[in-house]
Structure 1
Amino acid sequence: MSNRHTTKALRSAAAVALTATMAIAVTGCGGDSGGQKSDKGASKESTGPRADGGKKPAAQSTTAIGEMKGPDGIVVTLNSAIREDGGFITVNGTLTNRGSKVFNAYAWRSKETEMRSQSSISGASLVDAAGKKRYLILRDTDGECLCSTGLYGIKPNESRPIFAQFPAPPQSVTQVDFQLPSMPTVNIKITG
């Protein structure tokens, strides 16, 4: 076989392998529910990562369990604080800019210098006043917070969903204070 035919055969084999790999990747990313019917009432919105790194679907509640009003018209409305299997609590809410200038959440980040996202709510905490314990946001294996990031360039009248995951306090604790730098503290009820 000549060099030209060998090169052509190798290119064809590479194209077939690439096509097969892409087909497997697309199939793996598909939304096949394994023959199960989907629940029409379930929300398809993702609110945060699970402990295994995937996105976690959760219904966004419209009922507020707490609200924080900060400087320059920034409002954080907390919708849920759910005790999850695995020993953590997920707090979900909405950040709304009711002010007249663009908002960046730089003041809300933690003091850690290793954090990649400089505009996150990584500085948030839960406080169990009765038990005298503070719970900081969980981190993934890369040291990044399990919380909303990329909270910059939020225009006036714009809202964004937010979430944060914390270690769960003991089952007997049902009320905690949610704290976010530069915002007033709000007491919220844990469900689940």
Structure 2
Amino acid sequence: MNKWHGAWAHRSVAATVTAVALALSVAACGGSGGDNGKDDGSKPVVQSSTPSSRSQDSQAGDSGASPSPSQTLATASSGTFQFDITSAKRDSGGFLTINGTITNVTGQVQIAVNAWNGKESQVNQTGPSLAAMTLIDAAQKKRYYVLRDTDGNPLTTVNMPNFQPHAAIPFFAQFPAPPSSTSQVQMDFPGLPPTTIAIS
């Protein structure tokens, strides 16, 4: 009996030790899994912050490439408004597009001048626009008008809002492209002095 009891006691202790070892092993695995969960949760934050920083750097680079006063092709002023022409480019469709900004140089709210619309009743229905702008090609002795779409609407900025004090509003105007031999044109616009623009 004593031997049997001794063997039983020995087996009981062994089973208890085995159970404790298994419990510790499971707990260790669980703890490791919890750590991995924390790492997985923290990694996306780090990874998402890195692209954000790159995005900010890219935006900063883009803003540095935006048109600056030194890149302005021409400037004309009426005393109330200043027109800065930043590009005059031909495209493959045979058009010439003028881009720039109009700045209210006063300390008061200003509205677009009625004469900027031109005299066509169809154009006046589009609201304040730059439909009266023309380009003169002195070499070819031709005048180019702002193009119209199939409905007669001018291919230029329309429905111009009120100009807040010292605020600038971007604009565009599209014309038929002069011949490739023409390297510059003269902008003619109500209220502004004639302004020479180099074509790129």
TM-score (norm 2): 0.64
Q: Report matched runs for 1:3-152 at 5 Å.
A: 61-62=67-68, 63-71=71-79, 73-105=80-112, 106-115=114-123, 116-152=125-161
- Please give the alpha-carbon distance, in whole angstroms, between the structure 1 residues aligned to 2:187 and 2:152: 22
* Corresponding residue SS for 1:79: strand
Q: Report the alpha carbon displacement of residue 151 of structure 1 after superposing the two structures with TM.
A: 1.9
Name the structure where helix makes up a greater proportion of residues. 2
Query: Structure 1 vs Structure 2: percent identity of aligned residues?
Result: 38
- How many residue pairs get aligned? The number is 137
Q: How large is the RMSD of aligned CA atoms in angstroms?
A: 2.1
Q: Which of the two has greater strand per residue?
A: 1
Distance change >3 Å, CA 162–CA 60, structure 1 → 2: farther
Looking at structure 2, the residues matched to 170 and 145 of structure 1 have their Cα atoms a distance apart, in angstroms, of 22
Q: 1:180 aligns with which of 180, 183, 189?
A: 189
SS of 1:148's partner is coil
* Aligned partners of 1:61 and 1:80 also within 8 Å: no
Structure 2 portions without partners, runs of 5+: 1-57
Structure 2 residue identity aligned to 1:111 = K
Task: Give 1:60 deviation, angstroms.
Answer: 5.7
Contact 1:126 1:179 survives alignment (8 Å): yes
Aligned partner of residue 107 in structure 1, secondary structure: helix
Q: Which whole-Å CA distance do the structure 1 matches of 2:90 and 2:75 have between them?
A: 20
**Any unmatched runs of 5+ in structure 1?**
1-39, 44-58
Q: Deviations over 1:2-59 (max 9, x none)?
A: xxxxxxxxxxxxxxxxxxxxxxxxxxxxxxxxxxxxxx6897xxxxxxxxxxxxxxx9
Larger Rg: 2
Residue 47 of structure 1 corresponds to: none
TM-score w.r.t. length of structure 1: 0.66
- Once the 2 structures are TM-superposed, how far is the Cα of residue 82 of structure 1 from its aligned partner? 0.2
